[in-house]
Amino acid sequence: MGWTACSKQGKEANFGRLEGHPELKVVDLKQEAGLVSSSDGSPLDFAKYPLGTILRLEPFHSCAHTKQHDRIHVLAEDKMTVVATWKICRGW
């Protein structure tokens, strides 16, 4: 989830939104990792997010986010099933 996978833009908007987790926000991005904190500044209850928990980031800047990858996986409504894969346009 670092800036090599998305974008360093949008710090004022927490770099995007963690889908389904309004209690969390991204507070910083490093090259290959992000720092997540509670939205209200309270300590995180790590028992709510055991190892293997998937957090989906809806990026602040989708163009910059998409440019970092070679394809996009389109998900079904269940948000786990890939229904299509789109190749990223290059050279524009």
pLDDT digits (tens, 9 = 90+) for 24-74: 998 887 877 788 999 999 999 999 999 999 888 877 666 766 777 889 899
- Pick the more confident residue, 12 or 65: 65
Structure tokens of 9?
């833009």
Structure tokens of 57?
């980031």
- Pick the more confident residue, 13 or 18: 18
Q: Is the dihedral of CA 20, 48, 37, 53 positive or negative?
A: negative
Mean of the pLDDT values across residues 5-34?
Answer: 75
User: CA-CA distance, 78 to 45, in Å (whole number)?
Assistant: 26
| pTM score, whole prediction | 0.62
pLDDT at 42: 95
User: CA-CA distance, 74 to 92, in Å (whole number)?
Assistant: 22
User: CA-CA distance, 37 to 51, in Å (whole number)?
Assistant: 16
Contact between 23 and 38 under an 8 Å Cβ cutoff? The reply is: yes
User: CA-CA distance, 64 to 56, in Å (whole number)?
Assistant: 17
Q: How far, rounded to the nearest angstrom, does the alpha carbon of residue 73 sit from its chain's CA centroid?
A: 14
